[in-house]
Amino acid sequence: MYRSILRKVNSIHAQFQIDVFPVPIHIIENIISTNKFCFSHRIKMNQMIVIDNTIISPPKIDDTADYRYKLAHELGHIILHPNNHFFETKVVHNRREKEADVFAAYFLMPDKHMLFTLNAGYQEYDWIELYGVPEKLITIRKQLIIDSLNTKLRTGEVV
């Protein structure tokens, strides 16, 4: 279902040779800068938004896991939804939010590494530390694995 997002994530991982987990914050910031986006940290902001080519965000939040997730989510918007969408409908908006979350989940917990994690017997609560992500993203990632397994069972194809 989200195979095109997975493909994009994999190509970024290959391009930037990401093999350290949790994915370091500066690497995500670097990829965002490579895409010609810059940051504007504002004390009064409590969430990240993208306007034109600027990511307006709170000062680096004390919660590193949350900051990592939000950065990866915004990178998802940059890669998947390259235009500003102030006039998008609610349905489109919700879909794009979901896609950016799926991007973040694949990006911070990539397939190959997840396979190793699952084979090594790490439990879900270990993932939080292993990948430095908030619980919300673990839930999304788990659902992607379940969806992928269901597709395999239904179609017999390797996803």
The contact set with Zn ion (CB under 5 A) reads 97, 100
Residue 52, sorted as left (phi over 0), alpha (psi -120 to 50) or beta, turns out to be left
According to DSSP, the residues that pair with 38 across neighbouring strands are 54
3-class DSSP state for residue 51? Answer: strand
Rounded to the nearest whole angstrom, what is the least distance from the CB of residue 149 to Zn ion in the complex?
27
Pick 100 or 114: Cβ nearer Zn ion:
100
> CB 71 → Zn ion: shortest distance, Å?
11
Q: What is the CA radius of gyration of the chain?
A: 16
Of the pair 65, 104, the CB lying nearest Zn ion is at: 104
Q: What angle, rounded to 10 degrees, do the helices at 90-108 and 64-80 form? A: 120
Question: Phi/psi zone of residue 50: left (φ > 0), alpha (ψ -120 to 50 degrees), beta?
Answer: beta
97 vs 111 by CB, closer to Zn ion: 97
- When the beta carbons of 122 and 134 are compared against Zn ion, the nearer one is 134
Q: Minimum CB separation from Zn ion for residue 57, in Å?
A: 12
Q: Helix (H, G, I), strand (E, B), or coil: what is residue 19?
A: coil
Q: Which is nearer to Zn ion, 102 or 114 (CB)?
A: 102
Distance of closest approach, residue 74 Cβ to Zn ion, in angstroms: 7
Distance of alpha carbon 99 from the chain centroid? 9
In 3D, which of 68, 70, 41 has the Cα closest to residue 57? 41
| Min CB(115)–Zn ion separation in Å | 28
